[in-house]
Amino acid sequence: MQLNVVKINRLFSYWLNASLLLIIFIIIVGGLTRLTNSGLSITEWELFSGILPPLTQEAWNFYFNQYKQIPQYKLMNFNMNLNEFKIIFYWEYFHRLFARIIGLFFLIPLIYFYLSGKIKKEYMYSCFVIFLLIILQGIVGWYMVKSGLINDVTVSHYRLSIHLFLAFIIISSIFWLIKNILNKTNKFFFNTSRKNIPFVLLIILLFFQIIIGAWVSGLDAGRIYQTWPLMGSTYLPNDIIFKDIKNLIDLNNHSLVQFYHRNLAYLISIYIFFLSVYIYKKKSKLFKYIKLVIFFLLLQIILGILTLISGLNIYLALSHQISSVFLIFSAINLYYFQAK
């Protein structure tokens, strides 16, 4: 018996929510993969052949020997044994496995909902765009891994930031679509009316901070200046001499990138404070929504500081990354109820 329109639309909503949770989960797994330096343990893409992990001693030796050919092993992990290799291998393996699961979990129901003809065309269009972004994310993931296989012991922090940025674009797109479905409307995100600009600017600032945070992670820039509020004993990092403009845009400099990450956090905090005052004075209904933004901002700042002064505790670092997801969601939620 064919499902009626109501049941199909309900199923469609459940599917989007489940997809959102899966992608948040893979962001967590990806964060742990980066924090444990496991991302280069599999040196081939293996889109289909790598579905199953090594099942024999010969297969394990093959993967381990491949890993021994890259700089990370030669320069950092030259004394690693096979059992230690298996630990970092499984982090990357599960990261890739969940990526495959997400791809199939999104594609197969997408085809069904499209063929059913029961879902609004606007919603289906958004889903097809999201699926293309998921495919692009897989390609960017391998593009990122390749950057650490030849000359470096880690992946390029620029490519890492693209990989993370795309993940946030995907979850933000799904979140926006879910909001539309719940409110039975089809608000367009890129509605740049004058009233919307302050709220869009907040989201842009948060995305910039996520990108710079990825640079900090990719460069391991948090391993220096593990003090707050000063960087060592000064506000400016004392190992940088600002002679000309090139010094200000040297985004390979660990100290400078950490300095930008800190100060963009201050800028965002000040911006949200003034936005909150603006909303409060207008006695707008948005005030209850910006309270969520303030809560997650404070949580993000506290976790960021604790991560730094703890010497990059892995659990605090992961919590800092997870809280950024909810900070983005709260900002998008605020903008959603502002947008017409």
Q: How far is CA 131 from CA 23, 135, 137, 287, in A?
A: 12, 6, 10, 34
Task: Give the C-alpha separation, 39 to 33, whole Å.
Answer: 6
Q: pLDDT value at position 191?
A: 79
Reduced to 3 states (helix: H, G, I; strand: E, B; else coil), residue 281 is: helix
Residues 274 and 164 grouped into a single domain: no
Q: pLDDT value at position 1?
A: 43
Domain carrying residue 124: 1-186
Q: How far is CA 298 from the centre of its chain?
A: 19
Q: Which of 186, 211, 228 finishes a domain?
A: 186
Residue 231 has phi, psi (to 5 degrees) of -95, 95
Task: Give the C-alpha separation, 79 to 170, whole Å.
Answer: 39
The contacts of residue 110 (CB under 8 Å, 6+ apart) are 127, 128, 131
Task: Give the C-alpha separation, 124 to 115, whole Å.
Answer: 11
The segments of the chain whose pLDDT lies below 50 read 1
Report yes or no: 310 and 259 within 8 Å, Cβ to Cβ. no
120 burial via Cβ count (<10 Å: 0-12, 13-18, 19+): middle
Q: pLDDT value at position 6?
A: 83
Report yes or no: 12 and 117 within 8 Å, Cβ to Cβ. no
The contacts of residue 47 (CB under 8 Å, 6+ apart) are none
Report yes or no: 154 and 115 within 8 Å, Cβ to Cβ. no
Q: Which of 162, 186, 210 finishes a domain?
A: 186
Q: pLDDT value at position 15?
A: 96
Residues 138 and 193 grouped into a single domain: no
Number of structural domains (the chain) is 2
Residues 191 and 336 grouped into a single domain: yes
Residue with the two structure tokens 């593009």: 143
- pLDDT tens for residues 10-69? 999 999 999 999 999 999 999 999 888 898 899 888 877 778 899 999 999 999 999 999
Residues 158 and 208 grouped into a single domain: no
Residues 91 and 181 grouped into a single domain: yes
Q: pLDDT value at position 99?
A: 94
Q: Which of 186, 218, 238 finishes a domain?
A: 186
- The continuous run of DSSP H or E covering 5 comes out as helix 5-35
